[in-house]
A and B are shown apart, each in its own frame.
Chain A
């Protein structure tokens, strides 16, 4: 037998820690010690390594591909092009518009053209570089609005509607409202990267039945499986996916990267094939956050009550659709923000260009809109001469309010309270005492000893949908089993849900413990031998997979209780009566039996948007967070230090309070990154900073204290009353920080991220 290390082992969670507690993560110690097996650690004794040849051009016609020179490199086993794709050479999450390997045209810099399998990664890379591709370079379409103009090159000739991926219209209330106070502005948001630390990687192992076992770091095993099957021309039972250790996701693993490529190489060579992207390649290997241009006009009464919001939002989807349509839907339906607005008119457009493809990233369309509507609320406050918090509170959404889609908000929406809570916190102390460079903008780079430094305070609040929307059949599947092992009742939980770092494995064990009254819970490796769990995205897994695990536990519990007359529940490894009296030891009740139930669980259905007005019960749940940012700005150099970033968020029920705070702080920092440094710079369709040397993400010295207030207003429609947590803090952190910089500098700052130049030049 060859040595294999695909280590998709079970994780065992023991001891106490049910819902509402913060037990240790079962994978935590391994990760902290550096012993956790990530997808890049996959190993098989006779594996080959795959490499990808990518287009250097944002837009070009392929005249010919000559793989000959690559094949002559010693150690190369096979070189494949589009001609070797046995099934559909097309995939995509919403539209199958993306070739597995380019055929006659490349539409973005970095598009895969050929793949190589070789004995080692360097040989594979070098051989890939020797594939000769004859390109006819074309003028790329790089401006989203120009892409919609008449006469613009049509990038996907078989896509109806030219370069328009989707336009969503929201029409609510009076079509021609007027108001005494009007503010308007144009805002832009740059292309943010998810910047996960574990690059795209996985291994495909050919099986004796002609199928494949694919070990991969992904967000949604079954969506990958569906697309891989189509490309390989294999049935789902022949394509088995296993979740390998995921080093962060944030949306960047929703689309396929190396999945089909490794599978093709493995099937062709009959050997396991591993592919690991390098850091630079990773920037080309996944979608990014949509850059956006947002033109807003807000009308209000002199008392500061919103009369209308008009907006035009353009999202650059890049070369392939990915999830652009859903991102467009989010930006539109959430485009007026967490406010009561009687009249709303929004046109939101997602577009094809030759820029890098954009798709899912934490916040998913709601981030871009939030930057614009919150900037507008600050402008309105200024026009009215009231405070930024006051103008927001006067218009704050609440339970029972109506969204611009006509949807009534049917659970808690404590928008005003969230704002008031961050406002009422004591402010961090003014700078003082002996000089400590780490407390100044520029840090130890020693750019100021206080000269030019001005403090500013800013606020932001946002609204995010939880779960998949617009009528999507959003469900998860859980298989729960209860049996006696080594004299102890043990629950095992099997789902296909991707743990990407957020702590779902911990939560599943907590739920099983609470529902089944056992101490020991085994979380089985996620794979496609159980039904789909849906995507680890949209802040949805605690809700949907959490709901499925609870439902499966309930089914198991019912079966066990039926064995004991008078039984009402399971607690402390015993069957108990309604009054809590122990009726029987669970070990004895179970004996040798295995009780197992599999449940497919879905949340309330949502509805598709009315194409003319956007009317619909579109979202199953809304989630809200508010931030107060305090910044010090070196106004002469344009350098910023965020001094404190306070957040208040309603989570419905804090299922795991430590994990909740971790999510809120992590989301806040990702929003901080977008506010002051994170941007993929693209010029003429070419990425200029595909590395962590120049794509900067916050370090610990950029990360301020982040006090968090967690509110728990239960949502009666959701399991345990919980509300999705992961995304809302990413929305409001950015506008709060930019508002604080405006307050310190008096600059208009209509663009995120803010660069020093913007502060210095105005």
Chain B
């Protein structure tokens, strides 16, 4: 991926991720509890409590990007876990039983925290992990928002945050530090603000930054929001993107079309996809996925605000609401077409896409396509099948102008 090399910040990424993993290892030695958490989780509470948060999904994405997901998965499959479960879960469970650790060993938890806003796979996976490692499991239960957000669901979530705080006090043996929480929330706000400012530059034509860049640069927003390092990282990236704008450096050489992409990328084929789109002068500009981390916490009402932000994610919303969100992105980024990835690993982002493809085209007049594959596992990847879907789409795009 050409853009990956040209961002100077990329080198810094490697460093801060290494530092992050080193901190995890050191936490074990210093007896700082290591908590497994999920990507959409009020991690701010853990930082405030001085607990080290570790993201097994990130481990899964890493294994997928390094093309070893199938290898790890086979260890899970040997125990009876099906190859159609979430690829991240298969990597995590597989690694627990594996004799080889091609991306290093997953960090063993002292406790697992799960929020099911995203999916039911995580809660089942974390239940499995809590049994395997014999550690407590704490679920933040986020009922689906049926229509509009309701006090019923957010109130329930706030009650659970209070229960979680009591649980954290038990683990750490210390009273919960609410002042520290406000600091952490402030840092999260800053990180999210910077991240979204960067993402927004993809709306410029031509744009200095696109979805594949976002995939490369997203690890800190997922795993480190709430820390100063994350703020500094995105400050540096933002500066660099601004420089690019001044210098007229763009994400792809001849941007003609902007594409919306749902949702998670095919990690082991990131480069292949980015080159494919670039070769058709198409910039994948936006995806609901990378835009998930767009939190804005109200420091006056921290718990309520955490509850709202973490339960109202797109993935926990209704069919119609999710259509609206997509169309908002279409407008905001001025997209010319959309590509929907029906991802075997991830039912909550994939079920419904078949119908949404036609609805979106009907409502917006834009060309769109849906294809099937798996975000981690190349056993479900067929280049020929995907091209058979995408080539006609690119032709449609070209003829629409």
The reply to whether chain A is a binding partner of chain B is no
